[in-house]
Amino acid sequence: MHEEFDLQNYLTAGVERIVSDAVRATLKDPKESAFMLRFATASRNASKKRRNAEDNGEHIPPFLIASITSSCNLHCAGCYSRCNHATVDTEPVKQMTDDEWKAVFDEAGQLGISFILLAGGEPMLRRGVIEAAGRRQDILFPIFTNGTYLDEKYLELFDRCRNLIPIMSIEGDRERTDERRGKGIYDRLISNMDEIKKRGLIFGASVTVTTRNYKEVTSREFLGSLSERGCKAVIFVEYVPVTEESRELAPGDEEREFIQSGIRRLRETHSEMVYISFPGDEKSSGGCVAAGRGFFHINSHGGAEPCPFSPYSDMNVRNGSLKDAMNSPLFRKLREEGYLLEDHDGGCILYEKRELVEQLINA
């Protein structure tokens, strides 16, 4: 079954659906729609680059996740990045410079990577990196932010560079959001959303889905309130347990099917927003798409990792190219030896098999 699965076609179809949904979602906004139509052309050109590379025996993923800083001003409950020490309170040391990130973005564009998700820590602490991203109009940069650093200069930048889209983290209503992220964060997010809408800009929302909130955050009421405020994309990120005690919060097959069926319904009935689920149901999508199959992760120091939930690296982009990173010994073992295709409980296979990943990197 795995041999018959055409990964390149699957990924290209996914990208095309996201782009077409985004075009449709912005039709009522002339400036935003004009940009999305231009980006649709850039995305098609990028797909051709990836297909040509595939025909020559080289697989290029359409997505990249870049954690551009290890700093954050919040201490969200159960934060995976803090638990694996990728986010710390001390002053960052030896982080990638603005110019180094610019070089990564430039090579990504040349290879045909269409989307680079900017994360952290809190990515909006790195204004220079985000300004460099804004200059790559052929790449869409969703910025996963807690929303606390949105200011006039950023609003002006987002107006000039429509390829920069703030994706603000929200957990549901005020009680759930403030419970996880801190008192007053929900009200600040709502204020940001209203200001962004007033200026004719767009934004998205990132929702950490748990067994406690999965029904609420996929409800018509919650998503309707986001839509009314101008939200154009909702990214559902399944909670990955950081301790045995928190395992009960991780969605299982039943919750995941509820989420996926809800997303299918929403795409049909509420096309004014784009809906993405991560990691989604790997069992029905040809296996995990990390380690360069569909994306990989670059940490704030340049280490190339299979994904944010699998923080292991044997290659640094400071010492080589993105192409080199995609073909690191670790990535090749994970892809070619079938580890990403194995049966598992669902959710994130690399987190579930983290001891195996450690063994591979130390082999």
Dist. CA 292–CA 306, nearest whole Å: 7
Residue 282 has pLDDT above 80, yes or no: no
Please compute the mean of the pLDDT values over residues 78-100 and round it to a whole number: 85
Bond into 230 cis (ω within 30): no
Dist. CA 100–CA 248, nearest whole Å: 40
pLDDT in tens, 129-159: 999 999 999 999 999 999 999 999 999 999 9
Question: pLDDT-derived band of residue 336, with 50, 70 and 90 as boundaries?
Answer: confident
The angle subtended at Cα 359 by Cα 358 and Cα 363, nearest 5°, is: 120
Question: pLDDT-derived band of residue 281, with 50, 70 and 90 as boundaries?
Answer: low
How many CA atoms lie less than 13 Å away from 191 in the CB half-sphere? 11
Dist. CA 297–CA 308, nearest whole Å: 6
Dist. CA 251–CA 178, nearest whole Å: 21
| 345 burial level (CB within 10 Å; 0-12, 13-18, 19+) | exposed
Specify the pTM: 0.92
Angle between helices 127-134 and 152-160 (to 10 degrees): 20
Q: Taking Cα atoms as reference points, which of 178, 151, 54 lies closest to residue 112? A: 54
Other residues' Cβ atoms within 10 Å of the Cβ of residue 136:
20
144 close to 169: Cβ distance less than 8 angstroms: yes
Q: At a CB cut-off of 8 Å and minimum separation 6, what does 188 contact?
A: 147, 148
Buried b (16+ CB within 10 A) or exposed e, 52-77: ebbeeeebbbbbbbbbbbbbbebebe
Q: Residue 336 maps to which CATH number? A: 3.20.20.70
H/E run at residue 227 = helix 220-228
pLDDT at 350: 79
**Cα-only R_g, the chain:** 19
On average, the pLDDT of the chain sits at 89
Please compute the mean of the pLDDT values over residues 341-357 and round it to a whole number: 70
Over pLDDT 90: what percentage of the chain? 58
Other residues' Cβ atoms within 10 Å of the Cβ of residue 160:
10
What does each C-alpha distance from 345 to 59, 258, 349, 350 come to in angstroms?
27, 16, 8, 11
| 362 burial level (CB within 10 Å; 0-12, 13-18, 19+) | exposed
Instruction: Show the domain range for 98.
Output: 2-362
Q: At a CB cut-off of 8 Å and minimum separation 6, what does 302 contact?
A: 96, 100, 316, 317, 318, 319
Q: Taking Cα atoms as reference points, which of 160, 66, 165, 162 lies closest to residue 116? A: 66
Residue 324 has pLDDT above 70, yes or no: yes
Question: pLDDT-derived band of residue 345, with 50, 70 and 90 as boundaries?
Answer: low
pLDDT in tens, 5-33: 577 787 888 889 889 999 888 888 888 99
Residue 308 has pLDDT above 60, yes or no: yes
Residue 250 has pLDDT above 90, yes or no: no
pLDDT in tens, 170-215: 999 999 999 999 999 999 999 999 999 999 999 999 999 999 999 9
Question: pLDDT-derived band of residue 242, with 50, 70 and 90 as boundaries?
Answer: low
Dist. CA 323–CA 48, nearest whole Å: 17
Instruction: Please report the beta strands in the chain, taking only residues with DSSP state E, as ranges in sequence order.
Output: 63-67, 115-119, 141-145, 164-169, 203-209, 231-238, 274-278, 297-298, 304-305
Please compute the mean of the pLDDT values over residues 78-96 and round it to a whole number: 83
Residue 141 corresponds to which tokens in the numbers above?
């940069």
Q: How many domains does the structure of the chain reveal?
A: 1
Residue 60 has pLDDT above 90, yes or no: yes
Instruction: Please report the beta strands in 148-283, taking only residues with DSSP state E, as ranges in sequence order.
Output: 164-169, 203-209, 231-238, 274-278
